[in-house]
């Protein structure tokens, strides 16, 4: 087997007395599309932050393509789409993308920028300041920004939240295309339907641990639903 795209080994994370993750272990092969399911507070965002190198585990290790997440070469391979937009409101969409193209040394930047703007249907608004964008538009631009440098590994934290039906469809199409191109995708969601439709595999996090790791093809959707909802009941839905 090739070097895993991602290897999470015995990762725990505490914030003082708060437990966020307990002994999380799994690996993801290149080209796999994995959904992480779990209710609010389960530890999903904490896990993605540790994988992207934003946060350090209290215990355990993470490897991206066989090396440390904070390695410089990994920054170029990674895209993170989260609630932090990483966009400048006082710049236009085009200026934001030009800025990131320089940071990532994107080859043929103008052409690439045109492509990602078209992908997220923002070409007609490219000269407008991002501060004037609606929330959904800003989120779409975040997706364009993240895909600009053609990352090998995509980490998406609840990417469908805040998008309307049309934008959800657009993101699904984009993700399917990324998958076809052989990219590795890891996303968190509480939307079981989308997770089942898109992923090869799912992980359920409950009480800060992985309680289920299954392949979608092998698994009856009712079983996934059961695994997911039994984890909710266990924790008590608040």
Ligand X SMILES: Nc1ncnc2c1ncn2[C@@H]1O[C@H](COP(=O)(O)OP(=O)(O)O)[C@@H](O)[C@H]1O
15 binds ligand X (CB under 6 A): yes
Interface pattern 137-156 for ligand X (x via CB under 6 A) = --------------------
Partner in contact with 20, chosen from Mg ion, ligand X, none, beta carbon below 5 to 8 Å by kind: ligand X
- The token duo for 74 is 């990994």
For ligand X, the binding residues in 75-114 under the rule CB under 6 A are: none
189: CB partners within 8 A, 6+ apart = 35, 36, 37, 158, 159, 160, 195
**Least CB distance from residue 44 to Mg ion, whole Å?**
5
DSSP string, 45-61: HHHHHHHTTSS--SEEE
Helix or strand holding residue 23 (H, E): strand 18-28
Sheet holding 59-64, edge to edge: 18-28, 6-15, 59-64
| Residue number, 58 or 219, with CB nearest to ligand X | 58
Binding residues for ligand X, rule CB under 6 A, total 11
**Least CB distance from residue 41 to ligand X, whole Å?**
4
**Least CB distance from residue 45 to ligand X, whole Å?**
3
3-state secondary structure of 21: strand
By CB under 5 A, name the binding residues for Mg ion: 44-45
**Least CB distance from residue 76 to ligand X, whole Å?**
26
| Residue number, 5 or 20, with CB nearest to Mg ion | 20
4 binds ligand X (CB under 6 A): no
Query: Quick one: how far is CA 234 from the chain centroid?
Result: 26
- Looking at beta carbons, which residue is closest to Mg ion? 45
Q: Where are the alpha helices (DSSP H) in 56-134?
A: 72-77, 93-103, 109-119
The dihedral through the CA atoms of 56, 57, 61, 63 has a sign that is negative
- What's the CA gap between 162 and 176, in Å, rounded? 20
For ligand X, the binding residues in 22-61 under the rule CB under 6 A are: 38, 40-46
**Least CB distance from residue 42 to ligand X, whole Å?**
4
Partner in contact with 43, chosen from ligand X, Mg ion, none, beta carbon below 5 to 8 Å by kind: ligand X
- The token duo for 69 is 């997440």
| Residue number, 20 or 117, with CB nearest to Mg ion | 20
**Least CB distance from residue 40 to ligand X, whole Å?**
4
Contact set with ligand X (CB under 6 A): 15, 18, 20, 38, 40-46
């Amino acid at each position: 087997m090739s070097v895993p795209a991602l290897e999470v080994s015995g990762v725990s994370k505490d914030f003082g007395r708060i437990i966020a993750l307990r002994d999380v272990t799994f690996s993801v092969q290149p080209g796999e599309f994995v959904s992480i399911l779990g209710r609010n507070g389960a530890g999903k965002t904490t896990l993605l932050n540790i994988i992207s190198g934003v946060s350090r585990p209290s215990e355990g290790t993470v490897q991206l393509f066989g090396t440390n997440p904070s390695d410089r070469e990994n920054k170029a391979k990674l895209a993170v789409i989260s609630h932090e937009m990483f966009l400048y409101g006082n710049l236009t969409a085009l200026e934001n993308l030009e800025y990131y193209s320089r940071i990532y040394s994107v080859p043929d930047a103008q052409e690439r920028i045109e492509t990602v703007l078209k992908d997220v249907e923002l070409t007609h608004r490219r000269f407008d300041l991002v501060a004037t964008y609606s929330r959904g538009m800003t989120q779409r631009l975040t997706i364009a920004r993240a895909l600009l440098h053609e990352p090998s590994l995509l980490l998406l934290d609840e990417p469908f939240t805040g998008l309307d039906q049309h934008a959800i469809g657009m993101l699904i199409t984009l993700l399917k295309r990324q998958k076809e191109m052989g990219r590795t995708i890891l996303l968190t969601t509480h939307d079981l339907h989308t997770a089942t439709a898109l992923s090869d595999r799912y992980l359920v996090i409950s009480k800060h641990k992985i309680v289920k790791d299954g392949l979608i093809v092998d698994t009856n959707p009712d079983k996934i639903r059961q695994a997911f909802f039994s984890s909710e009941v266990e924790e008590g839905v608040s």
